[in-house]
Amino acid sequence: MKFILAPDSFKESMTAKKAALAMEKGIRKVFPDAECVIAPMADGGEGTVDALVDITNGHIIQSEISGPLGQKVLAEFGLLGEGKTAVIEMASASGLALIKPEERNPLLTTTYGTGELIKHALELGVTQILIGIGGSATNDGGVGMLQALGVSFKDSNGNELGHGGGFLHQLHSIDITGLDSRLKTVHIDVACDVSNPLIGKNGASAIFGPQKGADPEMVMKLDQNLSHYAKIIKQQLNHDVAMTPGSGAAGGLGAGLLAFLNAHLKNGIDLILDYTRLEDQMKDADFVFTGEGSIDSQTIFGKTPYGIAMAAKKYSVPVITIAGKIGTGIEPLYEIGMTSIIGISKGITSIKAALEFGEVNLAFAAENVCRLLSLKK
């Protein structure tokens, strides 16, 4: 029998790879000779680099770059096994987790470090870059990233803009002549699971600004600044990004990637499936196991198990979804291809214990699923 083991991480309990190995352990107790394809997954957010590096036998590269407040941080990105594709999580360089809650200020935070990571990837001769843009601490429209890559943003006095979304209202001119020429031959995909525009009531500032430290007054200022930024981009570069779906992702980083780097914004799990070519393995599989920490009504909006189920459905392969927690509103998941949804908890327990024994419980759940499957063998 052939099993595809394609879970996302069970956050705070196990990585996607550890989850897949736990599934394999349970399966082999019942089917010791089964073919198990270990395929740790992610949806473009946290864990994307690790998942793609693992499944392609690539490696992690560390680099000291500028954090969201200009402090030095040790960030990392992945180089896939074929040596020509880099995978970057912008949160590694410009993420909310890199600064203390009391220091969060999107007027000042910058994506400069993300640009530095892209530049380091270019130095390795890559021809393709995948960027996951979840978890940002920024609201600068990607200006910091672009400054690191050679674009100049100047005020009316000819001075370079400072870092952070608080300076965008001063923008007078954009000079792209210094943009790193190597980007002309690099294809950039962006894992983006939000459709928010750059500005307005559903824009970057209004929807995501508060979690980055913005009070109502700051949200209004940031939105006005991004509106001015979009106006200058339209006037000088002939790109209209103000209301483009996804342009508001990561504090407007989506807009910067679209307007300046000709990037392609796509659903995260769809990109991961493309990069891993996992569907090729599904064609002759008997079962697909997937899962993550929580399965609920949000899963259908592009989460990893949803993407895996949709892919497996094309080949009529049954999908077993295993989760640490099962929430409400999961019924539509059966309609899109999930055969069964299983919780791993053995009983009432503390969250600490559930996280600590996640691997053991996951293996046990996979084993018991297989005991049932063995009756039909």
Instruction: Count Cβ atoms below 10 Å from residue 28 Cβ, excluding itself.
Output: 17
Q: Is pLDDT of 282 > 80?
A: yes
Which amino acid does the sequence have at 323? Answer: A
Q: Burial letters for 118-145: b for 16+ Cβ neighbours within 10 Å, e otherwise?
A: bbbbbeeebebbbbbbbbbbbbbbbbbb
Q: Is pLDDT of 376 > 80?
A: no
Task: Kindly indicate the confidence band of residue 346, based on its pLDDT and cuts at 50, 70 and 90.
Answer: confident
Quickly tell me which residue has 């009756």 as its tokens.
375
Residue ranges of the chain that CATH labels 3.40.50.10350: 2-36+282-374
Q: Is pLDDT of 163 > 80?
A: yes
Q: Strands 35-38, 319-326: parallel, antiparallel or unpaired by DSSP? A: unpaired
Instruction: Count Cβ atoms below 10 Å from residue 59 Cβ, excluding itself.
Output: 11
Query: Tens digits of per-residue pLDDT, 83-111?
Result: 999 999 999 999 999 999 999 999 999 99
34 alpha-carbon distance from chain centroid: 32
The whole-number pLDDT of residue 96 equals 93
DSSP characters over 69-93: TS-EEEEEEEE-TTSSEEEEETHHH
The whole-number pLDDT of residue 377 equals 60
The whole-number pLDDT of residue 316 equals 96
Residue ranges of the chain that CATH labels 3.90.1510.10: 48-268
Please check whether residue 80 is in contact with residue 52, taking contact to mean a CB–CB distance below 8 angstroms: yes
pTM score of the predicted model: 0.86
The whole-number pLDDT of residue 143 equals 98
Instruction: Please give the structure tokens belonging to residue 345.
Output: 């908890």
Query: Tens digits of per-residue pLDDT, 212-243?
Result: 999 999 999 999 999 999 999 999 999 999 99
Query: Tens digits of per-residue pLDDT, 165-204?
Result: 999 999 999 999 999 999 999 999 999 878 899 999 999 9
State how far the Cα of 160 lies from the Cα of 137, in Å rounded to an integer: 22
Q: What percent of the chain has pLDDT over 70?
A: 100
Section 297-321 average pLDDT: 93
Section 261-290 average pLDDT: 93
Q: Is pLDDT of 291 > 90?
A: yes
Q: Which CATH number does 2-36+282-374 carry?
A: 3.40.50.10350
Query: Tens digits of per-residue pLDDT, 117-158?
Result: 999 999 999 999 999 998 899 999 999 999 999 999 999 999
Section 304-330 average pLDDT: 95
Q: Burial letters for 220-251: b for 16+ Cβ neighbours within 10 Å, e otherwise?
A: ebbbebbbbbbeebeeeeebebbebebbbbbb
DSSP characters over 127-165: SEEEEE--SB---STTHHHHHHTT-EEE-TTSPBPPSSG
Section 349-373 average pLDDT: 91
Among 19-28, 202-211, 264-273, where is mean pLDDT lowest? 264-273
Among 44-48, 205-209, 267-271, where is mean pLDDT lowest? 44-48
End-to-end CA distance of the chain: 9
Question: Out of 3.90.1510.10, 3.40.50.740, 3.30.930.10, 2.40.50.110, which CATH number does the structure's domain 48-268 have?
Answer: 3.90.1510.10
The closest alpha carbon to 39, from 354, 365, 269, 359, belongs to 269
The whole-number pLDDT of residue 58 equals 95
- 216-225 long-range CB contacts below 8 Å, 24 or more apart? 218/106, 218/107, 221/107, 221/166, 221/169, 222/106, 222/107, 222/139, 222/165, 222/166, 223/199, 224/169, 225/165, 225/166, 225/167, 225/168, 225/169
Task: Kindly indicate the confidence band of residue 281, based on its pLDDT and cuts at 50, 70 and 90.
Answer: very high
Please compute, for residue 301, the number of CA atoms within 13 A of its CA located in the half-sphere on the CB side: 8
Instruction: Please give the structure tokens belonging to residue 24.
Output: 């394999």
The closest alpha carbon to 324, from 364, 288, 286, belongs to 364
